[in-house]
Structure 1
Amino acid sequence: MKKIISALLAGCCLTSLTAQDVVVKGPDEKLQLVVFTSPAEKPSYSITYNGKTMLEKSPLGMNTNIGDFAKGMKLTGHTVTPIDTVYHQDRIKTSQVHYQANELNCHFENLKGQKIDIVFRVGNNDVAFRYTLPRQDGKGSVTVTAEETGFRFPQQTTTFLCPQSDAMIGWKRTKPSYEEEYKADAPMSDRSQYGHGYTFPCLFRIGDDGWVLVSETGVDSRYCGSRLSDVSEDNLYTIAFPMAEENNGNGTVAPAFALPGATPWRTITVGETLKPIVETTVAWDVVRPLYETKYDYRFGRGTWSWILWQDGSINYDDQVRYIDFAAAMGYEYALIDNWWDTNIGRERMKSLVEYARSKGVELFLWYSSSGYWNDIEQGPVNRMDNAIIRKREMKWLQSLGVKGIKVDFFGGDKQETMRLYEDILSDADDHGLMVIF
């Protein structure tokens, strides 16, 4: 232990360690996580890489309707377990991934004796962590009112961030659409454009020492999507939940889940260059498929008339031209965007699908995600947000031989939106449809 502490102090760790603090390194020992566990302070952590500070002491914990899991937290024990697995993926940047990490599970109790675990995965260039809660005092569910989770950067850090927009503004009141402009190499002192922080993923340059990418993974119907807050005066960004105005005010901003249960993973990728940032697979390393699909889906290349010709191209004749274009290029698909239900019509869509298939091309069709959280006129609307109508629509698509759908303009990041994503995917799989969100 003395050797470890000496090495940490020599390696520019900014905070003194105590007997309770926990140190874990990645398999190649360049990436180092320290968890600080003094009951007099909130739990916190720091990250160094090759002895250089990537994240300074940053807070951990969360507040819930059943207890405060941030203040007065006592470490009651911890375990470290090596992870060494190989998995295959045919939809990401590499097909075979050899994932190695050391998993640290820290067991905490709050002032009332309520328990929470913080689970960390420390790889060679990635740290992922999440909170897990058992049933508490007979309670079988929890609402998370706020996360204390933070990311405090060294003073020399600059940022590459996309601001989170106001809700219910912009074209047809469709924002946030995650189409705001990134600022490159901006100082941390710059405030976000709208005052709502930043959309994941968030990239930081630690001067000449390296790079850090902060994001999340494993978000599903049991939580909301999150973002980073604006920075505080001491270079701290924290996890922020959706705004109340999102989804036209429908749905809660505070996620809830059954107990025992867990939050999504917060992910931190570090490197001396951008190479580990580009090549990271942490978004898939720490999660498992929610279910086995009924069908074997094979995505490919496609044409899309809207990108050049926009709404005016969504007619039968122009779509024939783009189907012919896809066939000539050897592409597998063509996407027909909004207004097809009006400008082509459901009856003629059957013959268009048949024509495409005669050319060896399969079709995707566009849908609005809803009809009650923006002002979109482009159809089809009011098809994807109602289970009865959605299943009927998907059955019709399957009968035509349509291969997939593009579902557009979701209302925000609330838990009810995450639930809708999941429901659409599940129903689409029942009908052999691929999905582009």
Structure 2
Amino acid sequence: MTLLRPSARLLRTALAGMAAALPLLAQALVSPDGRIQVDVRLDAQQRLVYSVQQAGKPVLLPSRLGLQLADADLSNNLRLVKTSPPRRHQERYQLPAGKRQQVSYVANEQRFELENPGGQRLLLDVRVSNDGLALRYTAPGEAGEKRRFVAETTCLQFAPEARAWLQPMSVAGTGWKGTNPSYEEHYQTDIPVGTPSPSPAGWVFPALFRTGPTWVALTEAGMDGSFHASRLQADSSGGNYCLGLPMAREVFTGGHLLAEADGTLVSPWRVIALGTLATLVESTLGTDLAPPALPATARFEPGAAAWSWALLKDEATVFDVQKRFIDYAADMRWPYLLIDAEWDTRIGDAKLKELVDYARRKGIGIHVWYNSSGDWNESPQTPKSALLTPEARKREFSRLAEMGVKGVKIDFFGGDGASMQAYYLDLLRDTLAAGLMVNFHGATLPRGWARTFPNFMTAEAIKGFEFVTFGQADQDKVPGHAAMLPFTRNLFDPMDFTPMVFGDIPNIQRRTRNGFELAQAVLFLSGIQHFAEIPEGMATVPAEVKNLLRQLPRRWDETRFIDGEPGKFAVIARRAGKTWWVAGFNADDSARELLLDAPFLRQRAGQLYTDGEGPRDFRIEPLPKSASTRLTLQPQGGFIARFP
């Protein structure tokens, strides 16, 4: 037996004491199925870092975490105080509209409590589910103590060979009448990680990446109006993507830009979905991490809507045209009509009430447009500046509800600052109290609001159909742009793209075939699906296609990914009751062969609605029972197949 010398014995004692004072971080947190592993630790500089593996292969390399507040640096020189044991988190909830009605969320979670040299604490909550992970910070504080956010060191470090599919964030105050940012840019597809954003404002959420065989989608959820909305910084040198801040102009008049709290400051969840494309397309992480639904005194029904403005613009916002569109909605069995900007001057309250009453007799609910703006942009459309105070909102929403209006479309917001986020939440709460549905346009990404607010139906936050009516350049890009959306913008949140035109677009040569347009009715998810087609265009459509559009489900019970590649094509199946609706479109210039070989479709007979010989033609044919079905998607074409 070898005896330790006194100096060695003292060293061992000292090291044991240090270990007791500085507990090691807990073992890696794993997903319920054991495939995803998240390691959280302090690096050699006492900075908080994490890394992610799936099936033993790296997904995210060591990446930094942390917050910097006005009175506390919680990103450097940290000491681990305590680690909670892992525990199971389970919840079930309902979505008014989305990938499925009934959602089950299961994750393993753990809390890490850290401290800086001044004794100020940072709590990091980590959840890992089978489809990804989420991170959230808490900076505890006493009542009356103001906590002000300064910066965040949350990053994602990808391997150099990883690829990215990203949308640039527009610069605040640019664009038409200074209405940017509204998440209305084209995506850059399949670019090397580390490619700088063409905009100094960075990249928007959701952000999509592929590293090796694994796809990664980044977003955030749990926005309660106290925090600003984030994006990715423009500079991602070396494949290191860090969270960025809104620009100085992105505030409500007189409001603050960055998060602040009286006492404890809690961040939104930073959500990282990962796995196959099927995992991402079927995931509900973006709403799983949102707050539970608020109680409602009214029932809000999703559904399709007719809308004149898409093709006919401002001149159609008159009484006679809107009455004709009520008849059109009733004929198509779409439950809503949206009356757009300047209804207050072109129609007026008295005639609006007449339209609302006429629509009610036809079984149609009316939605009306509002301008959100104070002075953060120069948009002139009215009603404007009618929603800026609690008193004004209560008066306006009560008046609409008494009139029988079912919902509001609110447009032209000012960005992602904390005070602007608070304005969104005020609008959602006040419309909920008034029993009105909400659609935000010229707006931010919703970030899970569809779960929390049963009256929140949809938001634009995309370069939608209206842009293809303004110029040929956007129309030329629409096939590839649309083929990005099931994998990015519409991945977790409802999207008001306002799809589907079968006829002509004034002064524009349409690039998509009718099958491509038809497929959007199922591929794109929106609580209120505003269809752009007008009665004259719908009159050119075969009766069988019109009947199909009359039968579109208002809600989906299940979603399954079949095939696809971001920016190129997408094929997705959605179930309503016992019936499966399968839709797909092809953005490429060449035809694409497709095999529908899904177990849930085998030995089911169906009906196919797809492109005919010409770009405006349809082909409708039965699909016999089979173990698999082969289809050919025409260039810029698509289909819907219905399997009862």
Deviation at 1:260, TM superposition (A): 2.9
Secondary structure of 2:367's aligned partner? strand
Matched residues in 2 for 1:39 and 1:134: separation? 26
Q: Which residue is equivalent to 2:148?
A: 143
Q: CA RMSD in A?
A: 1.7
Deviation at 1:347, TM superposition (A): 1.8
Matched residues in 1 for 2:91 and 2:376: separation? 43
Secondary structure of 2:28's aligned partner? strand
Deviation at 1:139, TM superposition (A): 5.6
Secondary structure of 2:360's aligned partner? helix
Q: Deviations over 1:144-198 (max 9, x none)?
A: 1111111111111111111011111111110001101101101224221212211
Q: Which residue is equivalent to 2:132?
A: 126
1:218 paired with 2:222, answer yes
Q: Which residue is equivalent to 2:82?
A: 77
Matched residues in 2 for 1:352 and 1:286: separation? 40
1:44 paired with 2:49, answer yes
Q: Which residue is equivalent to 1:174?
A: 179
Paired residue for 2:113, among 94, 100, 107? 107
Q: Name whichever of 224-233 and 165-174 sits farther off.
A: 224-233
Q: Deviations over 1:298-342 (max 9, x none)?
A: 121111111121222111111112111110011110011111111
Q: Deviations over 1:271-306 (max 9, x none)?
A: 1x2111111111222232363122222121111111
Matched residues in 2 for 1:231 and 1:155: separation? 15
Paired residue for 2:94, among 63, 70, 88? 88
Secondary structure of 2:165's aligned partner? strand
Q: Name whichever of 240-249 and 162-171 sits farther off.
A: 240-249
1:164 paired with 2:169, answer yes
Matched residues in 1 for 2:270 and 2:252: separation? 27
Q: Which residue is equivalent to 2:32?
A: 27
1:405 paired with 2:408, answer yes
* Cα separation, partners in 2 of 1:200 and 1:369, compared to 1, 3 Å: same
Paired residue for 1:325, among 324, 328, 333? 328
Matched residues in 1 for 2:429 and 2:251: separation? 22
1:202 paired with 2:202, answer no
Matched residues in 2 for 1:221 and 1:258: separation? 14
1:98 paired with 2:104, answer yes
Amino acid at match of 2:106: Q
1:190 paired with 2:195, answer yes
Q: Which residue is equivalent to 1:283?
A: 286
Q: Which residue is equivalent to 1:155?
A: 160
Q: Is the 8 A contact 1:52 1:209 kept in 2?
A: no
Paired residue for 2:270, among 266, 281, 287? 266
Matched residues in 2 for 1:258 and 1:289: separation? 23
Secondary structure of 1:199's aligned partner? coil
After TM superposition, the score normalised by the length of structure 1 is 0.92
Q: Which residue is equivalent to 1:238?
A: 242
Deviation at 1:358, TM superposition (A): 1.4
Q: Is the 8 A contact 2:203 2:233 kept in 1?
A: yes
Matched residues in 1 for 2:253 and 2:389: separation? 18
1:252 paired with 2:256, answer yes
* Cα separation, partners in 2 of 1:232 and 1:284, compared to 1, 3 Å: closer
Secondary structure of 2:89's aligned partner? strand
Secondary structure of 1:198's aligned partner? coil
1:363 paired with 2:359, answer no
Q: Deviations over 1:114-164 (max 9, x none)?
A: 11110000011210110012225x763311111111111111111111101
Identity of aligned residues (%): 37
Amino acid at match of 2:138: T
Secondary structure of 2:167's aligned partner? strand
Amino acid at match of 1:355: Y
Deviation at 1:46, TM superposition (A): 0.6
Matched residues in 2 for 1:185 and 1:74: separation? 40
Matched residues in 1 for 2:252 and 2:362: separation? 43
Q: Which residue is equivalent to 2:61?
A: 56
Q: Which residue is equivalent to 1:292?
A: 295
Amino acid at match of 1:62: L
* 1:392-431 map, 5 Å: 392-431=395-434
Q: Is the 8 A contact 1:39 1:72 kept in 2?
A: no
Paired residue for 2:311, among 292, 308, 311? 308
Q: Which residue is equivalent to 1:8?
A: none
Q: Is the 8 A contact 2:26 2:83 kept in 1?
A: no
Deviation at 1:259, TM superposition (A): 2.5
Matched residues in 2 for 1:373 and 1:304: separation? 27
Q: Is the 8 A contact 1:248 1:373 kept in 2?
A: yes
Q: Is the 8 A contact 1:21 1:37 kept in 2?
A: no
Q: Which residue is equivalent to 1:338?
A: 341
Matched residues in 1 for 2:36 and 2:235: separation? 25
Q: Name whichever of 382-391 and 330-339 sits farther off.
A: 382-391
For structure 2, list consecutive stretches of 5 or more residues without a partner in the other structure. 1-22, 441-644
Q: Name whichever of 293-302 and 415-424 sits farther off.
A: 293-302
Q: Deviations over 1:16-72 (max 9, x none)?
A: xx9546411101111110102246231010111112211111100010022110011
Q: Which residue is equivalent to 1:9?
A: none
Q: Deviations over 1:218-244 (max 9, x none)?
A: 112111111111233221111111100
Matched residues in 2 for 1:220 and 1:124: separation? 26
Matched residues in 2 for 1:20 and 1:39: separation? 14
User: Alignment length, in residue pairs?
Assistant: 417
